[in-house]
Amino acid sequence: METTNVVSGPGTTSEEMDRSQLESVRRSLRVKATPERAFRVFAEEMDSWWPKSHHIGSSPMKAIVVEPRPGGAIYTVQEDGVHCPWASVVAWEPPHKFVFAWHVTPDWKYEPDVTRCSEVEVLFTRTDDGNTLVEFEHRHFERHGEGWQTMRDAVGSEGGWNGVMALFVAKAEEGA
């Protein structure tokens, strides 16, 4: 898996860069699968690769549900039967683009107000060899208010999107 975390290029000063770009968590991955398969695994089969430890519910997680449409909910079903929302679909454009609002606060609780949510965009582009370039960006952390830097640092760590995206790539490449 190739991982890139680029927030600036040569000759670019911080004054020239958009503040939100500096605060984004970005990954660029090459996946040995078609864009159709990569999108399907990421967005439609999230439950097949997402770590069961990564949820905000009060009991163990059983499953993740993604409602495949703009405005659709993304939630976990907990072992106690509770449905725990943690995101909402902003853009659903198979097999090229999936965007969702991250309804999780810096203290790992549900945030119902979408204007106080960060956003995750995942783009799927066919490469010349028939595989897929997956470009991932988690952005707008400042919308969370106080504590947003802690959230950005957590999701940008090995235990955050780095590890989660490695699980996605492994699943997408399985049997591809």
Q: Could you give phi then psi for residue 57, rounded to 5 degrees?
A: -75, 170
pTM here is 0.87
> Cα separation of 168 and 34, whole Å?
14
What pLDDT score does 86 carry?
98
Name residue 41's amino acid: V
The 3 state secondary structure assigned to 63-123 is EEEECCCCCCEEEEEECCCCEEEEEEEEEEECCCEEEEEECECCCCCECCCHHHCEEEEEE
Contacts of 30 (CB under 8 A, 6+ apart): 1, 2, 127, 131, 132, 133, 134
In order of their start, the domains of the chain are 24-173 (3.30.530.20)
Q: Which residues of the chain have pLDDT under 70?
A: 1-22, 176
Tell me which DSSP letter residue 19 carries. Answer: H
What pLDDT score does 175 carry?
75
The string of pLDDT tens digits covering residues 88-102 is 999 999 999 999 999
